[in-house]
Structure 1
Amino acid sequence: MLRNDDALADLAGLILNVGRLVRARTLDNADTVPLNETERQVMRVVDMYPGAAPSDIARRTRLQRTNVSTALRSLEDKGMISRAATKGRGITVHPTELSASNLRRVRATWAGELAGVLGDDPGAVRQCIEVLSRLEKALMAD
């Protein structure tokens, strides 16, 4: 029987590897805008928290502010985000329609990839989503 620490470490390793495998199997989709790892992390936060400030994106992704700034410039050049000035010197970041359509295509590809494995067990899928969502939100929090 696994100790809880071992089970949690095994879970973390599986999460990382499954994410890598899904990405590797779905990366060559010519219909999507290619993003590097940092851009994907930034877009995840922008999609989850539209209107977030760059400093909030950096905090939630645990990335250095300079790396977030570089990713934001690249994402803006690719048409994936727009920036809006706020009162004072603040900036908010918003996903664009291109970003939304890109995300829909990526999600459809991911769903197709996982359908053969988990598609016939909606209860297992819901359980996975609940656990992983809770983990993601907790790890993004302060």
Structure 2
Amino acid sequence: MPREEADAALADLADLILNVGRLVRARTPDESPGVVPLTETERQVMRVVDLHPGAAPSEIARRTRLQRTNVSAALRSLESKGMVSRAATVGRGVAVHPTELAASNLRVLRAAWARELAGGLGDDLDAVRQCTGLLSRLERQLTADEP
């Protein structure tokens, strides 16, 4: 495959990923009972906290590619919403953990996301697993320490 064709295919994939994410989010019930509304920055931070409980704020900043000051502000807001707890670690370190409210919030959202995707993809579980594997690999690559 020529380089231009490969670049176009990858750009099309990136565009679709961004748009599908936006469409799913637009159809997710932010004001439903059991859902704590979050800003985009708070969502990014919560994803890392959910996937890496006990992460330090510096690790959260690295994994989200957000400025440390923005992560700190998001963590303060998430703590005030009851979504995260912070605990001191050895030295001056801090470990951030999701709360039960955050776990409940995520369960509600995941159920809503599953309903949104079920209509078009629910009967093709092998393709869903392949796509999930591909996107997981891409996420790991994009959050790796080295570009």
| TM-score of the superposed pair, with normalisation by structure 2 | 0.93
Pair 1:104-2:107 in alignment: yes
User: Identity, % of aligned pairs?
Assistant: 76
Once residues 28 and 102 of structure 1 are traced to their aligned partners in structure 2, the CA distance between those partners, rounded to angstroms, is 10
Distance 1:18 1:140 in 2: 20
Alignment partner of 1:137 is 2:140: yes
Partners of 1:84 and 1:30 in 2: how far apart?
30
Q: TM-score, normalised by structure 1?
A: 0.96
Task: Compute the displacement of 1:141 (Å).
Answer: 1.4
* Equivalent residues, number: 142
Q: Give the match's secondary structure for 2:36.
A: coil
Instruction: Please give the root-mean-square deviation of Cα atoms over the aligned residues, in Å.
Output: 1.2
**Per-residue CA distance 1:53-97 (angstroms, 9 max, x = gap):** 000000000000000000000000000000000111110100011
Describe the superposition over 1:19-51 as per-residue Cα deviations: whole angstroms up to 9, x where unpaired.
000000114441200011000000000011110
Aligned to 1:5: 7
Runs of 4+ in structure 1 over 2 Å off? none
Match of 2:23 in 1: 21
CA distance in 2, matches of 1:78, 1:94: 14
Structure 2 residue ranges without an equivalent (≥5): none
